[in-house]
A and B are shown apart, each in its own frame.
Chain A
Amino acid sequence: MISRRVLWYRLYLVLNIAIIWVLFSILFLYNIVEVDKDVLARRRLSFFSLAFAMMGIIVAGAEAFFLKDMFRKLPIWLSTILRMTLTFFLFLIVSVIVVFAYWIFRHDGGLSFIEFEKEFVQNILLTPSFLMLMVDMGFLAFLSILILEISDKYGPGGLRNLIRGRYNKPRKENRIFLFLDINDSTTIAEKIGHEKYFNMLHDFFADITDPIISNSGHIYQYVGDEVVICWQNTPRNKVRCLRFIRQAVEVFKRKQDYYMKEYGVSPTFKAGIHAGDVTVGYVGIIKKDLVFSGDTLNTTARIRSKCHELKHPYIASIDFVKDFRIPRGFQANEIGEMEFKGRVEKSKVYSLELI
């Protein structure tokens, strides 16, 4: 049961991949047509290539939408082979249907269907062009799976930023950071065992994905049981940040039964919010990663750890709350002060209430 938001995001990815497919298929189809020029001389070229293209689209659609999550638990190479086998059968079925249709519509009484089919097998299925098409298809299928996997590693927009070279030179950005942490993680881990706890963590992060995408948050990284989410610092994104908390709370309320049934506990979370300047850029040679550096992050982590101390799940700094009218449905109350590095005076922190 993938949510609509994730589905939209995936659709967008598939669209990008489809463009790559089309580019490649033009190249490959061109090759094939050129190779089989002699064989095709007596046939209608446009019809033939159209049939191939149609099959390609059907197969690609099945690949992207139905087969992607089918073998998720298997290694990629194994799932690729399995998917390719399935694709091959699908291809055979579709081609038989297409040939049958061709036979019905172009029937001139000369050949029976069996003879026609026999001719089809001899002239198309066993030709080098068909073999080549299968190799090409396998290659493309493999490439698609790889691209899907890799873009998930980079996260939304990550690959695009890399290609655009947005952070080739480190740059300063003003960003909102939200550190989100499961409550009582150690207690839960001890109670249900580490392996089960990890599965719960997996589900927790999967369920939180939805509110993150729908509020255009950017997942910066996972640090142990914590996830760091960030936005550009704009008033609109501040509203989104608040909305994200509300939606996340509601998601876990809705899923309470599932978590109780599966793990015996229902996770809740605490969050620390802060905004400020960070330097963004790539670090590392053999492991390259986008890194946000600056006191803002350390401060956010400290604000998050204040949640426990002040016994309030959602705490925001004055830097987040100032210059910003808290929207309806939320309330910010002053609950304490805290030292910020590099500031003489203590700064206020606020608790966020959802009303």
Chain B
Amino acid sequence: MASRRILRYRLLILANISIIWVVFAFLFLYNIILINKDDMKGHSLIIFSLAFAIIGFIVSAALVFYLKNAFRHYPLWISILLKMLLAFGLFLLIAFVMLAGYYAFGQPESLNDFADIFYREVFLSKAFMIFMFDLGIMTLLTIVILEVVDKYGPGGFWGMMRGKYVNPRIENRIFIFVDINNATTIAEKLGHTKYFRLLRDFFAEITIPILANGGEIYQYVGDEVVLSWKNTPLNKQRCFKFLRQSFFLLKRREPKFMKRYGICPTFKAGIHSGEVTAGVIGVIKKDLVYSGDTLNTTARIRSKCHELEESFVVSGDFLHDFSTPFAYRVNEIGEMEFKGRSEKEKLYSIIFE
């Protein structure tokens, strides 16, 4: 029951991968046709190449859509091998079906003769071997690309390719620190491994509201996840929506969590916005880093949640120049010192109506 949002995001990635596939398919197919020029003089070239193209397309679609998560719990190399085996089996199956179709519509010879010819002329030909090899490489590449894109997060891979943060730049961003309530207590109760699974499920659940509201997952810091948006009024609204959607989503998922862990996680969040310097840091381990007081302040606002006994605490900087949307209520609940400012700044709580 993958959500529509995630599906759409995956489809986007798939569209990009398909473009790569098509480019490669042309290159490979061209090679194959050139090689088998002599062998194929008697056959019709167009049908042959079309058949290869169709088979390739079906196999790749199956790989990308159905097999992506099939062997998730195995090591990557085993899952790659298994997937390639499955692809090979599928390829044979489709080839046979197409052969039967070709026989039914065209050839007057007996099926046995035809199959014989097929095996000798197609299955054992160099072109077929090369095609299988190419298919293997493409499969490998697809799996690796899918994995790597997930490491960078949405837009991250593209940003890296574009060199967006090659030179550090100052950006005005919104940050939300999201943290599970009573993490230590839950961890002690469940044991650490089970707690880790809970954490993983929690992060998986809030992925949907994050995607739906265009948020960027900046970093996981222990049990905390740091989300970020560009600072625009629209995105501020999205932040509010994100909080609301995650809150109710977790409520809806309560039975599932209760069954699995005997506990349903709730979360607290600190929200702040301001200027940060964004850039890529590191030599052997490169990462996009936002640096600045804004982040430290957000972390401190998040830790105020506990103190003030509020789930969602937001800074005055965030609410400044922004009229709170319908269905949310904002109350002043306290003050806090900000680094580098002489006066204390106000803090507000958010309540859903």
Contact = CB atoms under 8 A, between A and B. Distances in A.
A72 B163 CA distance: 9
Interface stretch (A85-93, A101-109, A162-170, A325-333): A162-170
B184 A295 contact: yes
Given A31-B130, A293-B223, A288 B150 contact: yes
Nearest to A210: B283
Given A153-B286, A162-B76, A170-B196, A286 B163 contact: no
A170 B159 CA distance: 30
Contact of A35 (B34, B73, B211, B221): B34
Contacts of B207: 284-286
B35 A293 contact: no
B277 interface: yes
B163 A76 contact: yes
Contacts of A164: 75-77
B222 interface: yes
Nearest to A33: B35
A286 B211 contact: yes
B19 interface: no
Interface string B139-165: 000000001101111101000111110
Contact of B192 (A135, A156, A293): A293
A77 B76 contact: no
B317 interface: no
A202 interface: yes
A81 interface: no
A252 interface: no
B321 interface: no
Contacts, number: 206
B285 A195 contact: no
Interface stretch (B98-106, B292-300, B308-316): B292-300
Interface residues of B, number: 74
Contacts of A283: 199-200, 203, 220
B167 interface: yes
What size tier do the contact residues of chain A reach?
35 or more
Given A153-B287, A165-B75, A283-B200, A205 B195 contact: no
A152 B168 contact: no
Given A205-B281, A342-B188, A222 B75 contact: no
Contacts of A197: 277, 291
B284 A155 contact: yes
Interface string A136-171: 000000000000011011111010001111101111
A201 B291 contact: yes
A152 B284 CA distance: 5
A284 B203 contact: yes
Contacts of A149: 160, 286
**B-side interface mostly:** helix
A72 B286 CA distance: 13
Contacts of A287: 150-154, 156, 217
B254 interface: no
Interface string A1-38: 00000100100000000000000000100010011000
A128 B34 contact: yes
Nearest to B31: A31
Contacts of A49: none
Interface in A282-300: 282-289, 291-295, 297-298
B35 A201 contact: no
Interface in B264-284: 275, 277, 279, 281-284
30 contacts: A34-B126, A35-B35, A74-B163, A77-B162, A128-B34, A162-B76, A163-B77, A164-B76, A165-B74, A168-B72, A168-B74, A170-B196, A171-B193, A186-B339, A189-B292, A194-B277, A195-B168, A197-B277, A199-B168, A202-B279, A202-B281, A212-B284, A222-B287, A223-B219, A224-B295, A284-B204, A285-B204, A287-B217, A288-B151, A293-B196
Q: Nearest 7 A-B pairs (CB), nearest first?
A: A165-B75, A75-B163, A155-B285, A287-B153, A287-B217, A198-B277, A198-B168
